[in-house]
Every structure is written in C-alpha cells, then in structure tokens.
Amino acid sequence: MKLATLCYVHHQGKTLMLHRVKKQNDVHAGKWNGLGGKVEPGESPEECVIREVKEESGLLLANPRLRGVLTFPEFSQGEDWYVFLFEATEFSGQLITSPEGDLAWIDDDRILELNLWSGDHIFLSAMQTGHCLSGKFVYRDGTLVDYHMNIYPEAQ
C-alpha cells in the first residue's frame, strides 16, 4: 500500500496545476494533477504535503486544509494507493521549474476542461461543497471502471 498526498493550491480564482510531462515511466504521464506525492517514513500527511508542494513548485504552504481521503485499489503495479486530499490558499515563495512537469495557474472554471483522470472530475466537483470527502476510485488499464464517493457535512 502506498500513502500519498494531493493538494490543490488556490490563489485569486486560479488553481496551481501540474502537467505531468517530464518523468519517464510516470503513471500520470500527460495528465494534469494537483501537487503532492508519497508519504515518507515518519512523516505526517501535513508534513508530506508541505514538503512535496515545496519540492514540486517552490511554494511553502501554510495551513493546508485536509479535505478527505481517496483510495485507488491496485492503481499502480498492483498496489493500493491511499491519498490524503488537501487544499491550500496560504503560501509564500516563488514558482520554480518543476522536475515533475509544467506548472500553470489555471482559472478555476477551466480545471475540468484539462486532461485529468476521470475520477478527478468527480472528486474535484465534490470538493466544491466544502465538506470532507471519502472516495474509492477503481481503475483498470487507466480507465475508471467503478467509484464510490461520500461527502460528510462538517460537525456542528
């Protein structure tokens, strides 16, 4: 099982997206994604998302907000991926040239027009509710074959 983070950084009506076009043998090749990566031993999800966003973009996050957990059974090389989903609006620093792909600030109303994973359309739309999410997305050979999404209203 792989533990990972995925973060959508928002600023002035735009979201920072990463076009995965640089790494060889990248399971995400050609797709647009938020930023993030694998949790390292001893790291919390928050520590991981801050480190990964810094490594991939040069931006240092402050107060990333956990939005949910996504599961991807047998997503890559037969391994299940559990992904902690974050959003962030507070950061410092300047964008760098990312080793992962090409970074771009995309207008929020155009995100779903990008070449995303099919499941991303589902959970990105659900994120607009502002509630906590839990989702399971089953892919076979890069095609979404099943999913289930729960949206949890925040406790009062």
Spatial separation of the C-alpha atoms in residues 22 and 17, rounded to whole Å: 14
**The model's pTM:** 0.93
Q: What is the CATH number of the domain that holds 133?
A: 3.90.79.10
Q: Are 15 and 9 in contact (CB under 8 A)?
A: yes
Supply the DSSP symbol for 99: S
Q: What is the pLDDT along the chain (156 residues), one digit of tens a residue?
A: 999 999 999 999 999 999 988 877 778 878 999 999 999 999 999 999 999 999 999 999 999 999 999 999 998 888 899 999 999 999 999 999 998 899 999 999 999 999 999 999 999 999 988 899 999 999 998 899 999 999 998 754
Are the C-beta atoms of 19 and 63 separated by less than 8 Å? no
Q: How many domains does the chain have?
A: 1
Q: What is the span of the domain harbouring residue 88?
A: 2-152
